[in-house]
Amino acid sequence: MSEDVQRVSGVITKIEEINSEIRNYEISFKQGREAAFCFAMGIYSSCGEICRPYTPVKINKECVVCPIKIYKQEGERKMLTPLVGTWKEGDSVDILWYRKKLPILEMLSEKHKTVFMISAGTGVTPMMQMLFYADANRMRNFKFVSVCLNKNETYRILRSCAEYPGLDLEIVDLYTQTEKGSRERSLMELRLEVEKIERETAIFCVSGPNSFVEAVSGPRKQEFGGMLKIMGVLDENCFKF
Ligand SMILES: Cc1cc2nc3c(=O)[nH]c(=O)nc-3n(C[C@H](O)[C@H](O)[C@H](O)COP(=O)(O)OP(=O)(O)OC[C@H]3O[C@@H](n4cnc5c(N)ncnc54)[C@H](O)[C@@H]3O)c2cc1C
């Protein structure tokens, strides 16, 4: 295993309910770890058979916090989150620790004035990791705007600017609900938020389910496109997580 990918043991030290489907899992490490900035880490099932990536939103030497949405078991399929849903404080958990996967520090270069974060559902977690890092490193020269789309307010994971007291941060919540046409309406509202800022000096970060990322910035791992491209945002100023 390379130095950047290490399997480590941890213990779940705190579970906090966000709503009936989403919980914050605080995982502490038996051996103290360097506070390396990482993008995602793998969490294993207790039998070690299943591993899925998660994005810690708080990272320090002894522990990380990961918001995890629990999905219902679908047939016989190997799924991790129905198992995570049964985990209790004090349980042991194995982690595959990845380091720096995206050039986040390069993204936060001096030339950009606004960091405009667009996310849907648990896609907000990489944005929260950036905010955590920016706050800890006193990056006061940026304006951060986070536009989060969620079904309704109980699904909000990024809840308050007060979590990042050192940052100039604005949180905009858009709700998609479930009625017909509400998704399109939310995308229109998102468009209005993008129109409010000076697009030439902003970087855009986009994260969420594939169909959402595609509508906003083109298919994941493919060419830039979607709403932002139509609005004149340059490819080099947009990062898809
Ligand atoms: C880089 C990366 C970071 C991630 N960070 C987080 C995180 O911080 N918190 C979190 O809860 N999840 C995160 N995920 C998703 C996570 O890795 C799992 O896919 C998810 O927990 C479902 O796992 P499962 O084994 O229970 O179900 P699976 O069998 O993998 O999927 C169950 C259902 O969930 C849907 N689904 C899977 N992944 C996503 C997704 N990313 N967005 C929307 N729907 C999805 C599937 O379509 C399916 O309907 C991340 C994924 C990636 C690639």
CATH number at 29 reads 2.40.30.10
* H/E segment holding residue 186: helix 182-195
185 and 154 part of one domain:
yes
Q: Note whether 65 and 56 are within 8 A (CB).
A: yes
| Nearest residue to 218 via CA among 237, 238, 203 | 238
10 and 84 part of one domain:
yes
State pTM to two decimals. 0.92
178 and 229 part of one domain:
yes
| Nearest residue to 207 via CA among 239, 160, 168 | 239
Could you say which of 62, 80, 98 is where a domain stops? 98
pLDDT of residue 1: 52
Measured between alpha carbons, how far is 123 from 212 in angstroms, rounded to an integer? 10
115 and 226 part of one domain:
yes
Atom of ligand 1 nearest to the CA of 69: 11
Q: Note whether 114 and 198 are within 8 A (CB).
A: yes
Measured between alpha carbons, how far is 120 from 159 in angstroms, rounded to an integer? 14
219 and 131 part of one domain:
yes
144 and 94 part of one domain:
no
| Nearest residue to 239 via CA among 135, 108, 98, 121 | 108
pLDDT of residue 140: 86
| Residue numbers of the domain that contains 49 | 5-98
CATH assignment at residue 188 = 3.40.50.80
Report the separation in Å between the CA atom of 219 and the middle of ligand 1, taken as the mean of its atom positions: 17
Going by CA atoms, what residue is nearest to atom 53 of ligand 1? 53
pLDDT band at 102 (very low <50, low <70, confident <90, very high): low
Could you say which of 46, 73, 98 is where a domain stops? 98
174 and 109 part of one domain:
yes
pLDDT band at 33 (very low <50, low <70, confident <90, very high): low
Going by CA atoms, what residue is nearest to atom 43 of ligand 1? 209
If you average pLDDT over every residue of the chain, what do you get?
90
113 and 72 part of one domain:
no
Could you say which of 31, 65, 98 is where a domain stops? 98
225 and 109 part of one domain:
yes
189 and 219 part of one domain:
yes
| Ligand 1 pocket test target in 18, 54, 101, 131 with most atoms within 8 Å of CB | 54
Amino acid at 4: D
Atom of ligand 1 nearest to the CA of 126: 8
149 and 222 part of one domain:
yes
pLDDT at 36 over 80: no
pLDDT of residue 99: 66
Atom of ligand 1 nearest to the CA of 53: 17
Going by CA atoms, what residue is nearest to atom 31 of ligand 1? 79
- Residue-wise pLDDT for 196-208, tens only, equals 999 988 999 999 9
16 and 88 part of one domain:
yes
What is the total count of domains within the chain?
2
Measured between alpha carbons, how far is 12 from 22 in angstroms, rounded to an integer? 16
- Residue-wise pLDDT for 15-31, tens only, equals 999 999 999 999 998 77
pLDDT band at 2 (very low <50, low <70, confident <90, very high): low
Higher confidence at residue 6 or residue 59?
Answer: 59
pLDDT of residue 111: 76
